Amino acid sequence: MRKERAEPERYHLLPITRHPSALMPDLLENLYSHMWWAHDELVGELRRMAPDAETLRLFAHVVAAEHLWLSRIDGVKARVAVWPTSSLDEVVELEAANRTRFRELLQRRDDTRQQRIRYRNSAGNDFENSVGEILAHVALHGHYHRGQIAIYQRIIGIKPALTKMIEGG
């Protein structure tokens, strides 16, 4: 007799309103400062050498996804696809606009981070998250893909930009 496998336990973010120390404003601000510095480092590297297609594709996705999340927060339609075909200049321009809007959100000291945002993902599934959860996700999403970029660049023989948060870590 075959035993049924139990569903894996699902992990959920704890509501920020219950655990305010989980995502302190200064931590989010530090994550975004690092994210912008890392973006600038990557752009600098890509301007020094012609970017390969995969690196540009991944970086364009990071910036387009930031834009998508801002569009969801602001309740407007995104202007670019989440996996766009963009030039480096187009990516840099969109990133600058994203950065301005994220700064505005991070500087707010009202209840903005607790506001709930309902949205539909690209697969057509409906979700709801707080602005604070979205802000944390966006910062971590960029870290994930910059790691992919670094691995890919090493594979093709390029020394990637060092974008670790702590140099000796």
Q: What is the pLDDT of residue 24?
A: 57
For residue range 138-157, what is the model confidence (pLDDT) as tens digits? 999 998 999 899 888 889 89
For residue range 33-66, what is the model confidence (pLDDT) as tens digits? 989 999 999 999 999 988 889 999 999 999 999 9
In angstroms, rounded to a whole number, what is the distance separating the alpha carbons of residues 57 and 83?
7
Percentage of residues of the chain with pLDDT beyond 90 = 57
Question: Does the structure show a pLDDT above 50 at 11?
Answer: no
Question: Does the structure show a pLDDT above 50 at 10?
Answer: no
DSSP 79-101: SS-SS----HHHHHHHHHHHHHH
Question: Does the structure show a pLDDT above 50 at 15?
Answer: no
Q: Could you tell me which residues come within 8 angstroms of residue 97 by beta carbon, excluding any fewer than 6 positions away?
A: 67
Question: Does the structure show a pLDDT above 50 at 110?
Answer: yes
Question: Does the structure show a pLDDT above 50 at 7?
Answer: no
Instruction: Please tell me whether the overall predicted TM-score, pTM, comes out greater than 0.75 for this model.
Output: yes
For residue range 20-29, what is the model confidence (pLDDT) as tens digits? 434 455 888 8
Percentage of residues of the chain with pLDDT beyond 70 = 82
CA 117 remoteness from chain centre: 17
Q: Mean pLDDT in the chain?
A: 84
Cβ pair 101, 66 in contact under 8 A = no
In angstroms, rounded to a whole number, what is the distance separating the alpha carbons of residues 122 and 105?
24
What band does 166 get if pLDDT is binned at 50, 70 and 90? low
Q: What is the pLDDT of residue 169?
A: 53
Domain 23-155, what fold? Four Helix Bundle (Hemerythrin (Met), subunit A) (1.20.120)
